[in-house]
Amino acid sequence: MTDAQTKILVDRRTIKLPAIADLVKKAAAREGIGAGRIMSEMFRLAVRRGGLTQREYFAHHLYRTSLSWDQKREFIGEMESYRLNLRLSPPGLTRMRGFLNDKITHTALWRAWGIPTTRTQAMFSRDRWLGPVPTLRDSDAIVDFLKRDAVCPLFGKPVEGLQSLGAVYIEAVDAAAGTATLLTGETVGIDALADEIVREFPDGYMFQDAELQHPEISEILGPALSCPRLVTIIEDDTPTVLYAYWKIAAYDGVSDNFWQNDTMLAGIDVATGTVTNCITGKGPDETEVETHPVSGKPVTGYRIPYWAEAVEMVQNAHAIFPINGCLGWDVAFGPKGPVLIECNDNTGHDTYQLVAGHGARHPSLKARFDRVIARNKRILADRKARVYKVET
């Protein structure tokens, strides 16, 4: 057994990726085209600035003969999504990337402004001070917290991180046995868990209340928290939701990021909160989902409860940071309403493409992105014109 396989925390290295040659073979057979055509397209889309990687080419099914070349060029990869976010919220204007990447500070701010968010029970850090939030300085302190003070269910994650890497969901702790029972049903040693947190995430790790999911959603999707991502932009003065999609965890999974096996991704109608389409599987193995494969209940056509409240909540949260042109919000839908889980200043426009059916350069999106970028330029120009100068 390898070191990656024995890890307790969520680790992407445990996912075995298919060989590119196998993806070429599957895609060619599926579309009835030659492998040479696929290889040529991959090269042409990769060589441009911010081009797509080979795996991104397959993830977005750009081998499809139903897409024109211009439509294929509308798709962007992870790197170009990052560059787009830098234009939508330029660091020279916002100067907030470090703050928004720090999960514990921005969640504390939301609570101060009355926005529902999860409670932080404790944090591992070697050097920070967090007032009333217990700060755990080493692995022994983490073990002591888990045995004596932790209120389960408990969710742990790095203070700075993405894609649920390093996450853990603890259902219960047996202090006498020195073990923790995870959402997956696995029992692990608390000492081993604490050592892994300190070793893998020395810059900080937080323990929060595990939010309860609306019972109607859990009945369909299972117990793991599945958070829709709502992406907001500011084109003039008021934040609006540009698009939304639903990251759906595997029925017995820990987190909802689509790179994990058996997860699903669903498109959401922003106006109504209704699921428009849903997929599972990657690349040529992708399939459409109408009913959940475990619960048997409809996913496509399902209307998420408290949707209007969630839209209002993320728009208000974005208005706290109006200098940012674009932000992504992970929202949990609990029994009593939406709860803000995380803010992302580098939201994945490339992920949205998977369920949108078109690229992030599609004219409908590009026009709105251009208006955000134009707003940024106006703000920067106005600031430059108002700079206080001392005459000598």
Helices then strands, counting H and E runs in the chain, come out as 14, 14
pLDDT value at 261 more than 80: no
Angle at 364 between CA 359 and CA 368, to 5 degrees: 105
Q: Which two tokens stand for residue 163?
A: 């894609």
Distance CA 212, CA 193 (A): 23
| Res 3: pLDDT | 44
- What contacts 298, CB < 8 A, 6 or more positions away? 220, 290, 291, 292
How close are the terminal C-alpha atoms of the chain, in Å? 72
For residue 178, give the amino acid letter: G
Q: Which residues of 340-374 are buried (b: 16+ CB within 10 A; e: fewer)?
A: bbbbbbbbbbbbbbbbbebbbbeeebeebbeebbe
User: What pLDDT sits at residue 259?
Assistant: 55
**Cα–Cα distance for residue pair 339/210, rounded to 1 Å:** 11
The yes-or-no verdict on residue 149 having pLDDT over 90 is yes
For the stretch 40-92, pLDDT in tens is: 999 899 877 668 999 999 999 999 999 999 999 999 999 999 999 999 999 88
Tens of pLDDT along 180-207?
998 878 899 999 999 999 998 998 999 9
Average pLDDT over residues 326-333: 96
**Residue 6 carries which DSSP code?**
T
Q: Where are the alpha helices (DSSP H) in the chain?
A: 20-31, 35-47, 54-59, 69-73, 78-88, 91-94, 97-101, 103-112, 139-148, 190-200, 215-221, 307-320, 349-356, 363-385
Mean pLDDT, rounded, of the chain: 88
How do beta strands 168-174 and 179-182 pair? antiparallel
- Amino acid identity, position 76: I
Q: Is the pLDDT confidence value at 6 over 90? A: no
Locus of tokens 């969640």: 107
Give the CATH fold of the 84-104+214-381 domain: D-amino Acid Aminotransferase; Chain A, domain 1 (3.30.470)
Q: What is the pLDDT of residue 283?
A: 81
The domain segmentation of the chain, as residue ranges, is 14-73, 84-104+214-381, 119-209
Mapped onto helix, strand or coil, the DSSP state of residue 331 is strand
**How does DSSP assign 47-116, residue by residue?**
HSTTPPPHHHHHHTTTT-TTS-HHHHHT---HHHHHHHHHHHS-HHHH--HHHHH-HHHHHHHHHHTT--
Please state the pTM of the whole predicted model. Answer: 0.90
Q: Which of 11, 76, 60, 1 lies closest to 260 in space, CA to CA?
A: 11
The dihedral through the CA atoms of 348, 242, 284, 261 has a sign that is positive
CA distances to 39, 103, 251 from 230, in Å: 35, 17, 22
